[in-house]
Amino acid sequence: MSVTPAWAAVAGVAGAVGAGVYIAAVADRAVGATVAGERGRAGRALGGPFRAAALWLVQGRATTERPDARAWALAPALYLGLAAVAVSVVPLTRNVTAVDVDAGLVLFGAAQALAVIPVFPNGWSSNSMLPLIGAFRFIAEALSYEMPNLLALLSVSVPASSLALGDIVTSQHHLWNVVRIPLGLPLFLFAGAGLAFWGPVDLPDGADLGGGTQAETSGAHLLAWTTGRLAMLFAISAMGAAAFLGGWLGPVLPGAAWMIVKTVALLVVLVSSRHLVARVRPERYVVISWAVLIPLALVNVIVAAAVSL
Amino acid sequence: MVVSRGRPGGPLARLAAGAEVPVFVARGLGAGDTEARLLGTSAVRVVASPRQATVLVVAGHVPPGMAEPLARVHDQIPPPRVTVWRTGAGAGALDAIRAAWPQATVVGPGDDVAATVVHAYREVLLGRRPTEQPRLADVEPAEWRGVGPYGQGGSGMTGGVPYGRPMAGRADDLRDGLSLDVVRVRMGPFLPAFPTGLVLAVTFAGDVVHAVEVDDLLTPGDGGLGAPLPDDAADSRGDPAARPVRIDGLERARCRHHLRWLARLLRLYGLEALGRRVALMAAAPVPEDIAHLRNLHRRLERAWVLGRVTAGVGVVTGDAAAQWGGVTARAAGLAVDARSGSPAYQALGFAPVTHEAGDGRDRWRQRLAEATQALELAGRAGDATVDDDHIEPAGQPAPADLAGALGTALTGQEWGDALATVASIDPVVHPGAGADRPARAEAAA
Amino acid sequence: MVALAAFGAAFTLLVATAALVLLGRWLAGPPGWAATAPERVPFAGGLPPDVHAWNRFHARYYVMALLFLTFDMEMVYMFPWAVVFRQEGAVAIGEIFVFISILALGILYAWRERSLGWS
């Protein structure tokens, strides 16, 4: 159990989240430009996130007639905070973890479960019908993706006999979990996209709700909200890289470099789903999640158990 | 603005001046290709809500009934805000707009609206141009009544009208009979997913549509600002001077119309980048684009693109489809097409395309197939013309009982499905032009 | 103690990040400009709302929420099972299979009762 100085841990997490958010934003723009058939200049994609953030800081922050101002203010704050907590449990290398606990997997699961809470007030607080529908839709979505997510994560702790992420990564030193527990990573990514409600599962902020929970937000609030979503995507990618792709394990490069490469790869996959897959219908998502994904996740756990005997 | 760094003209604003311009498009009647042009510009991002926009682009003719909603949408844009009007070349249209909206920039049909938008955005962010002030008067919606400090107390459950508006009433639910709240919301004319000018008073029970009524803000008559833009296949009135109507111009306009519709539908489903690609295609399709259209059709058929999410949504078949006519009827298997009786079309080998299921998926398949067929016909037509009786409008005509037809189609559906149904039917909602008027033809390509 | 210290670190991180976001939101300026009533009208296409949006919303997935509670409790039991599985051996697979199948019957029942869809 390593005890890192507090300032180093916080700085590390902040730096990681900042870098992750930037890479996700750039990847989003780049993939979007490619799908749209535009050959944009690379400089536009690289500088784009900063310019958009500057516009949000200049723009006034919108409000509505009778909102619940306190809950509305807390929504992006809590969401980004929980994304930071989720990132902090993931190890960079064997000896470098911001928050190194025995039950890192459970802490990640707790952060993910709590992340449902700030999304609802972002839609409800504005006292406007379209965001309200988005908020209630998200609750249905969240209740549906929790189980496949947790079960997929659980399956990687079976071969390691531990809930600590460091042990889970070291248990993959001869074979990565993505190979010996094949259903795990797809299930985790699909359910994890729901955690950041990104792309095809963007039910609370969808275009059919005029932007949904974002419809009444602008300015600094919108900046914080978007940063939170991208940070959550980064957290999912980091956890997926550690739990399924072997974390820091790899031949030539140093461990930290491998971890970064794997995280960025998963991040690009998650981010690009927005431009390639249409948004799902809420009812179908709930039915598929309960009737297909949970049985698959349960089968996956049994497979993981059989493999680790 | 409180923090000086964030003021227009400051260093942050200079950095922001290079960003993608967030634009909210308010479509009036005869908006033409304004939205498609902006969608296809990479320096511009068309957003779904005015709160996230900086530039308001108004296109076409705004009747007097829609003037106040337009002013409200303008005010909902947070500062710094700027307006760009794009109007057709009607008599005195530009002067009327400049008189009513003195701070707005007005462009005509021949101007480059995207460049104007980007320029106006930069001007207002760099502080060279003042941000526009709110247009509506600062009046609270209703007086507070009630006894306590939060509007509570007094007669009735909530003591009157808390914070200026009443609370929702109750009704029995359609499916399980629980008596919970229903909320009546008037979804206004400038909702981006709606057809132009449609105002639906939707009664929500949760997120399911309990009832639907259609409000009419489009009373014809004098007044209103702006003029319709030319080359709008659905909305423009047929020009008597353009008779006889050439088939190749008519069919190309049809193809453009369907592709613009498809770009909006793709954005509704979250596929913004693909919608941008289709909008670029919609700018000026030529017969060589037929292969591109077929590729696009194959791509959209994949289950994860539009194949599954549209299947079984908003099924309109049988008598209901016959009532709608047009694309909706043909997507339900009824081969009703005004072009079938035309000898000129028959000489070109025209046969109406149909699909069977009449759901959302078949409606977009129908439109894409008709767009491809239109390009093929345009390529073969040469100088052929068609007489007035056999012109098939590109837009979906609205039935006489629009409220009833929409009520049947939408009631009981979850809101996302209901909106997808309205967007996939896309009726042309205004009196006098569209349903019984021909699509405007072009004299030349 | 060291473990508790780590959880404390996570909690501190949460609070610090949230405080930072709240500070940034406040510094970027209160919506003092939105003093006029029309600027604060909720967006629904241009028309003002008739009633407040806050209502007794019919959340039709309430049955699915009950099912979720069941499975959440199952997860509480599966976490320790995962940790001790290898030392318990193959018998543990059979045990968890029985446990899971009883709960899977719950999903089957909910699916047949059409409580997973809502319109």
Return residues 158-187 of B near C (CB < 8 Å).
162-163, 165-170, 173, 175-176, 178, 180-187
Kindly list the partner chains of chain C, i.e. chains with 3 or more CB atom pairs below 8 Å.
A, B
pTM of the predicted protein model: 0.92
B-interface mutation test, from A208, A216, A221, A223, most B Cβ less than 10 A away: A208
Is residue B284 included in any domain, yes or no?
A: yes
Is residue B18 included in any domain, yes or no?
A: yes
**Domain spans, chain C:** 1-28, 61-119
Q: Does C19 touch chain A (CB under 8 A)?
A: yes
Rounded Cα distance, B130 and A235, in Å:
42
Amino acid of residue B55? V
* Helices A104-114 and A219-243: angle between axes, nearest 10 degrees: 150
Residue A78 is encoded by which pair of tokens?
A: 């809590």
Among the listed residues A121, A111, A78, A112, the one whose alpha carbon sits nearest the alpha carbon of residue A193: A112
Give yes or no for residue B442 having a pLDDT over 50.
no
Is residue B104 included in any domain, yes or no?
A: yes
Q: How many structural domains does chain A have?
A: 1
Return residues 213-232 of A near B (CB < 8 Å).
214-219, 222
Please say which residue of B73, B96, B125 terminates a domain: B125
Cis peptide before B431 (omega within 30 of 0): no
Is residue A1 included in any domain, yes or no?
A: no
Give C1's contacts in chain A (Cβ within 8 Å).
none
Q: Does A33 touch chain B (CB under 8 A)?
A: yes
Q: What is the pLDDT of residues B257-283, one digit of tens each?
A: 999 999 999 999 999 999 999 999 888
Whether B412 sits inside 8 A of C59 (CB atoms) is: no
Whether A9 sits inside 8 A of C13 (CB atoms) is: yes
Is residue B263 included in any domain, yes or no?
A: yes
Among the listed residues A26, A88, B322, B346, the one whose alpha carbon sits nearest the alpha carbon of residue C12: A88
Whether C49 sits inside 8 A of A128 (CB atoms) is: yes
Same domain, B278 and B414: yes
Give yes or no for residue B131 having a pLDDT over 60.
yes
Residue B389 is encoded by which pair of tokens?
A: 């009786």
Q: Which pLDDT belongs to residue B126?
A: 92
Return residues 184-203 of A near B (CB < 8 Å).
199-200, 202
Domain that holds residue A95: 6-307
ipTM summary value: 0.93
Is residue A50 included in any domain, yes or no?
A: yes
Lowest mean pLDDT among A85-89, A90-94, A99-103, B199-203: A99-103
Whether B51 sits inside 8 A of A277 (CB atoms) is: no
Is residue B414 included in any domain, yes or no?
A: yes
Q: Which pLDDT belongs to residue B49?
A: 95
Please measure the distance between the N-terminal and C-terminal CA atoms of chain B and give it in whole angstroms: 50
Give C31's contacts in chain A (Cβ within 8 Å).
60-63
Per-residue confidence at B433, pLDDT binned at 50, 70, 90? very low
Give yes or no for residue A198 having a pLDDT over 50.
yes
Per-residue confidence at C4, pLDDT binned at 50, 70, 90? low
Which residue did the predictor score with more confidence, B244 or C67? C67
Q: Which pLDDT belongs to residue B3?
A: 39
Give A58's contacts in chain B (Cβ within 8 Å).
1, 6-8, 10, 12-13, 16, 80, 125
Whether B168 sits inside 8 A of C32 (CB atoms) is: no
Q: Which pLDDT belongs to residue A4?
A: 59
Q: Looking at residue B415, which CATH number applies to its domain?
A: 1.10.645.10
Give yes or no for residue A24 having a pLDDT over 50.
yes
Whether B48 sits inside 8 A of A217 (CB atoms) is: no
User: Is the distance from CB of B25 to CB of B35 less than 8 angstroms?
Assistant: yes
Q: What is the pLDDT of residues B286-318, one digit of tens each?
A: 778 899 999 999 999 998 899 899 999 999 998
Is residue B12 included in any domain, yes or no?
A: yes
Give A51's contacts in chain B (Cβ within 8 Å).
15-16, 18-20
Mean of pLDDT over chain A: 92
* Helices A219-243 and A255-276: angle between axes, nearest 10 degrees: 120
Q: Looking at residue B82, which CATH number applies to its domain?
A: 3.40.50.12280
Q: Which pLDDT belongs to residue B236?
A: 38
Q: Which long-range contacts (CB under 8 A, 24 or more apart) does B5-8 make?
A: B5/A57, B6/A57, B6/A58, B6/C28, B6/C29, B7/A58, B7/B127, B8/A58, B8/B80, B8/B124, B8/B125, B8/B126, B8/B127, B8/B131
Q: Does A106 touch chain C (CB under 8 A)?
A: yes
Rounded Cα distance, A153 and A244, in Å:
9
Give the Cβ contact number of residue B88 at 10 Å. 22
Q: Taking residues A93-118, report their average pLDDT.
A: 90
Rounded Cα distance, A27 and A45, in Å:
8
Domain that holds residue B298: 243-428
Q: How many structural domains does chain B have?
A: 2
Q: What is the pLDDT of residues A272-309, one digit of tens each?
A: 999 999 999 999 999 999 999 999 999 999 999 999 88
Is residue B148 included in any domain, yes or no?
A: no
Whether A132 sits inside 8 A of C54 (CB atoms) is: yes
